[in-house]
Structure 1
Amino acid sequence: MSKQQTEIGKLKEGKYVVVDDEPCKILSISTSKPGKHGAAKSRIDVVGIFDGVKRSIVQPVSAKTYVPIVERKNAQVISIAGNTVQFMDIKDYEMFELEVTDQQLSQLEAGKEIPYIESLNKKKLDL
């Protein structure tokens, strides 16, 4: 299972939420008081974990939303070809490739273990 359902009112800053099918980290939450004709609303400012894009959503506190399951895992560097690095997960031996930046590349070498983040079938290095 890659995501769970919860209510907007139960979200907390620093946790994660799915916005536009992208797992995002919550930067801030502001809640308005209930008005004459309706429920309290929350404005949630988020930033995408994988794409770095800032987004905002405004929804009633009682509305349902999804929280992504964000897993922190470790992988071993198998091979490096330019900026494409092949990794193997330490626990389940799954092989995968990631494009890395030059800065990340300088911290990698074959055989080294590195942490990475996985959520909604996307992966990124946690350096």
Structure 2
Amino acid sequence: MPGTKPVELGSLKVGQYIVIDEVPCRIVDMTKSKPGKHGGAKIRLTAMGLFENVKKEHVGPTSSRADVPLIDKRKGQVLSIMGDLVQIMDLETFDTLEIPMPEDVEEIDSGMEVEYFEAVGRYKITRVISK
């Protein structure tokens, strides 16, 4: 999957990111079982989606590989608000993006500086930096 890198499941920790069923997620709970008589150690991950608040679970051997999304955190300035979309200009590259209006971020107006991230080709506003 583009925008990801493979890692071993056993090396992941709570708070890190993983792609489960092609959905980038943040790990919220993790349990490891000991190796048994007939097999290796298993790991059970519970994760929440980054873009949709969906709960995902994954179970597999600790030696198996999983994709981890490459997350790029950036700053941008709000140019305009068009219904459910926020038009943002990236402060480094000056590219213009249209990002869905977040539900969990305080009121956003034109001219504000916001922090957003990009993962697996999708964008999300995470917080307002300045008003």
- TM (normalized to structure 2)? 0.89
Runs of 4+ aligned residues of structure 1 deviating over 3 Å after TM superposition are 101-104
For the 8 Å contact 1:17–1:68, the answer to whether it is kept is yes
For the 8 Å contact 2:102–2:124, the answer to whether it is kept is no
Q: Aligned partners of 1:62 and 1:39: how far apart in 2?
A: 8
Aligned pairs, number: 126
The secondary structure found in structure 2 opposite 1:9 is helix
Unaligned runs of 5+ in 2: none
Q: Which residue is equivalent to 1:113?
A: 113
Q: Which residue is equivalent to 1:83?
A: 84
For residues 82-104 of structure 1, what are the alpha-carbon distances to aligned partners after superposition, in whole Å with 9 as ceiling and x for unaligned? 23221111111121112215774
Deviates more, 1:75-84 or 1:14-23: 75-84
**Percent of residue pairs identical:** 36
Q: Which residue is equivalent to 1:3?
A: 4
- TM (normalized to structure 1)? 0.91
Unaligned runs of 5+ in 1: none
Aligned CA RMSD, in angstroms, stands at 1.6
Q: 1:103 to 1:17 in 2, by over 3 A?
A: closer
For residues 1-41 of structure 1, what are the alpha-carbon distances to aligned partners after superposition, in whole Å with 9 as ceiling and x for unaligned? 62111100000000101111111000011011111111100
